[in-house]
Amino acid sequence: MKKHLLAIAITALAATSTMAQTGDTLAKIKSSGSITLGVRESSGLAYTLGNGKYVGFHTEMAENIVQDLQKELGLSKLNVKYQPVTSQNRIPLVVNGTVDLECGSTTNDLNRQKEVDFANTTYVEQVRIAVKADSDINDVKDLDGKTVATTTGTTSVQLLRQNKRAAGIKFKDINGKDHADSFLLLETGRADAFVMDASILAGNISKSKNPKDFKIVGEPLSTEPIACMLRKNDPAFMKAVNDSIARQVQDGTLEKLWDKWFLQPIPPTNTSVGLPLSDATREAWNNPNNKPKEAYNE
Amino acid sequence: MAWDWQMFCEDTLDRTVREGCFGTDGDITYLDWMLSAWGWTVSVSLLALVLALAAGVVIGTIRTLPDSKWAVRFGNAWVEVFRNIPLLVQIFLWYHVVPAIFPAMKSVSGFVLVVLALGFFTSARIAEQVRSGIQALPRGQRYAGMAVGFTTWQTYRHVLLPNAFRIIIPPLTSETMNIFKNSSVAFAVSVTELTMFAMQAQEETGRGIEIYLAVTGLYIVSAFAINRIMTFIEKRVRVPGLTAPSAAGGH
């Protein structure tokens, strides 16, 4: 794994230094007749069913955006390529031109804005606490003296560290290598709580053997805007993407997608995530903006 | 591509650059964190190496014992079990499955479990090398031991093992270096070693390339240090004319 990531890093390094960014993604799409979407393989918002099939709320929204782009560019045929990305390689792949538009579960924050641009926020994530149904943990302060699980390579690890300091409490944190692993830590009792994005918690609980054994508690520890990511300094492409998002909000497409992916049973297990549209997300839809995470948590 | 090495001097909580690059009063910078992660990598690797050498030598030796059918079978089973299961799967078996069967194992820390998993995994490989080292020796050596009236223990202690160890030092060097590289799987059970540091810190700072370069450097330094130590040992214990069976000529 380590070697794999390094290889990606070096490739990205080589690519960024040798290839000057074209800066005009619309022209690139038009001349090549194809667009490359960055998709996630196992996130609550975008995942794979195997065999090169990518689905999910944000994946389907991205496909709608592509259709609108095709209309706008007047192309009779637009070839869509799917490039699976991970938390580690998504930014280098957008920067070096491999991926044109990444709609997965990328948080818009100031740090990343130095390297990429974000479209308007289409999903607002809240970091919350999942515990066993019979647990006496109701809030962050109840975590004192407990063992808390979270997933390596997520902002939640840092968030926990900050909360520990701010609230003056002590707990042991253990890190799962992915969300399924972290949830297993909670399920097997190695951890008393699992702190993560609410959609991921809800998804893992709905897929567990006994969803009634778990509950999500407490005020959100943090609120994070999730948005599609695109190359920096490309206002024409940014406008086209944002126009499509606005269109999807106005004619109710996005709300239908929400219903489809978060309230109805979804493949592969045909269980429902059961996550109603939050006020924060609706707020972002009605007032299009690409404010970073920092603007939400002041 | 602009380099930003200064992020290593940033505090891990508020991301302000610290004077002198090291945190004070319990605050830590990314550099502090990386060095402590390196410490975990080295600890996991060295402890696993000790376990692997001890178990590997015993298992490898009993696989060559004459007239001990069951000991040989046990040794074979040990090697095949630990060699045929992927390392990451073994780590999960130790972490999730073993405690489910033996509840007492639940309180054992991830660190100990990783040392066990990595140690036993590598012991199977070292056992194979010890066995091949012993079997590479001319049969005459064992007979010579018997002819002077040595017991089996004495034959191994004074004749076979000293020669076999000298033969297998080169592959053993690779194995000790492998342990350092394989220790990266420890991140899967929440040991805060270098790979976990890299995955986490690159997410927090967005400086993945600098972090992976630094971490790669530390892995190279660790593996190369152990390589030099093994080469030193190889030189020190060399017996002129007996370094390798091929050089010694056929008996």
User: What average pLDDT does this structure show over A25-54?
Assistant: 92
Find tokens 């647990």 and name the residue: A135
Residues of chain A above pLDDT 70, percent: 92
pLDDT at A18: 43
| Model confidence pLDDT, tens digit, residues B91-117 | 999 998 998 899 888 888 889 999 999
Nearest to A154 among B106, B188, B203 (CB): B203
For position B248, what pLDDT does the model report?
A: 46
Residue A16 shares a structural domain with residue A103:
yes
Tell me whether residues B200 and A176 touch, CB distance under 8 A.
no
A50 and A149 share a domain? no
Q: State yes or no: pLDDT of A2 exceeds 80.
A: no
Q: What is the pLDDT of residue B250?
A: 46
| Phi and psi, residue A43, nearest 5° | -120, 160
Pairwise CA distance, residues B68 & B73, whole Å: 9
Q: A6 vs B196: CB contact, 8 Å cut-off?
A: no
Higher-pLDDT residue of B57 and A92 is: B57
Nearest CA in chain A to B183: A2
Does position A12 have pLDDT exceeding 60, yes or no? no
Which candidate in A114, A118, A152 is best for mutational testing of the B interface (most B CBs within 10 A)?
A152
Among A224, A259, A281, where does a domain finish? A224
Instruction: Answer yes or no: do A76 and A106 share one domain.
Output: yes
Chain B residues with beta carbon closer than 8 angstroms to that of A14: none
pLDDT at res. A13: 53
Do A146 and A219 lie in a common domain?
yes
- pLDDT value at residue B247: 46
The distance of B85 to chain A (nearest Cα, Å) reads 18
Q: Does B104 touch chain A (CB under 8 A)?
A: no
Beta bridge partners of B20: none
**Whether residues A204 and A263 fall in one domain:** no
B213-225 residue pLDDT tens = 999 999 999 999 9
Say what the pLDDT of residue B19 is: 82
**Where in the sequence is the domain holding A171, given as residue range(s)?**
126-224
pLDDT of residue B249: 45
A183 in the same domain as A53 = no
Out of A13, A152, A184, name the one closest to residue B187 (CB).
A152
Alpha helices in chain A (DSSP H): 2-18, 25-32, 57-73, 90-95, 110-113, 155-167, 179-187, 198-207, 235-250, 253-258, 279-286, 293-296
For A164-200, write each residue's pLDDT tens digit. Answer: 877 788 888 899 988 888 999 999 888 999 999 888 8
A111 pLDDT tier (thresholds 50, 70, 90)? confident
Q: CB-based contacts of A269: which residues, under 8 Å, 6+ apart?
A: A207
Most confident of A98-102, A106-110, B235-239: A98-102
pLDDT for A17 equals 46
Q: Indicate the pLDDT class of residue A22, thresholds 50, 70 and 90.
A: low
Task: Answer for the pair B118, B87: CB distance below 8 angstroms, yes or no.
Answer: yes
User: What Cα–Cα distance (Å) separates residue A239 from each residue in A106, A286, B243?
Assistant: 19, 17, 72
Give ∠ CA B158-B161-B162 in degrees, rounded to 5.
70
Min CA distance, B45 vs chain A (Å)? 16
Q: What average pLDDT does this structure show over A28-47?
A: 91
Instruction: Indicate if the pLDDT at residue B70 is higher than 90.
Output: yes
CB contact under 8 A, A152 and B199: yes
Domain membership flag for residue B250: no
pLDDT value of position A146: 92
Q: Which residue of B has its CA nearest to A164?
A: B13
Query: Does A234 lie in the same domain as A206?
Result: no
H, E, C per residue of B160-206: HHHHHHHHHHHHHHHHHHHHHHHHHHHHHHCCCCHHHHHHHHHHHHC
Contact A13 B206 (CB under 8 A): no
Q: A162, B13: Cβ pair inside 8 Å?
A: yes
Asked if the Cβ–Cβ distance from A6 to B216 is below 8 Å, we say: yes
A56 and A198 assigned to the same domain? no
Q: Band of the pLDDT at A4, cuts 50, 70, 90?
A: low
Complex confidence, ipTM = 0.76
> Chain A: residue nearest B26 by CA?
A165
Q: In this predicted model, which residue has the larger pLDDT, B137 or A42?
A: B137
Residue of chain B with shortest Cα separation from A96: B1
Q: Which of A13, A154, A181 sits opposite B209 (nearest CB)?
A: A13
CATH number at residue A7: 3.40.190.10
Going by C-alpha positions, the residue among B171, B161, B200, B186 that lies closest to residue B46 is: B186
Indicate the pLDDT class of residue B188, thresholds 50, 70 and 90: confident
Task: Out of B96, B181, B195, name the one closest to residue A188 (CB).
Answer: B96
* pLDDT of amino acid B251: 47
* B203 interfaces chain A, CB cutoff of 8 Å: yes
Please state, for a pLDDT cut of 90, what percent of chain B lies above it: 69
Burial letters for A125-140: b for 16+ Cβ neighbours within 10 Å, e otherwise? bbbbbbbbeebebeeb
Structural domains of chain B, count: 1
pLDDT of residue B162: 93
User: How far does the CA of residue B217 sit from the closest CA of chain A (Å)?
Assistant: 12
What distance in Å separates residue B166's CA from the closest CA in chain A? Answer: 32
Domain boundary among A164, A193, A224: A224
pLDDT (average), residues A210-221 = 90
Whether A14 has a pLDDT exceeding 80, the answer reads no
* Structural domains in chain A (count): 2
The per-residue pLDDT for range B146-164, each reduced to its tens digit, is 999 999 999 999 999 999 9
Probe site for chain A from B190, B193, B207, B210 (most A CB atoms < 10 A): B190
Domain extent, residue B190, equals 5-245
pLDDT value of position A11? 60
Interface of B with A in 1-20 (CB under 8 A): 1, 12-13
Each residue's pLDDT tens digit, B123-136: 999 999 999 999 99
The most confident of the ranges A148-157, A160-169, B217-226 is: B217-226
Interface contact A138, partner B, CB < 8 A = no
> CATH number of the domain that B22 lies in?
1.10.3720.10
Surface of A (171-190) touching B: CB under 8 A? 174-177, 181, 184, 188-190
Is A286 touching B (CB cutoff 8 A)?
Answer: no
* pLDDT at site B3: 80
Weakest-pLDDT range from A198-202, B82-86, B227-231: A198-202
Tell me which DSSP letter residue A104 carries: S
Q: Is B184 on the interface with A (CB under 8 A)?
A: yes
Q: In this structure, are A152 and A259 located in the same domain?
A: no
| B10 lies in some domain | yes
Residue at a domain's end among A205, A224, A243 = A224
Residue A103 has pLDDT above 70, yes or no: yes
Cβ neighbourhood burial of B84 (10 Å; 0-12, 13-18, 19+):
exposed
Asked if A8 and A111 sit in the same domain, the reply is yes
Which pLDDT score is estimated for B244?
Answer: 52
Check whether A239 has a pLDDT greater than 60. yes
The mean pLDDT value for A147-165 works out to 86
A191 touches chain B (CB under 8 A): no
Measure in Å the smallest separation between the Cα of B207 and chain A Cα atoms: 10
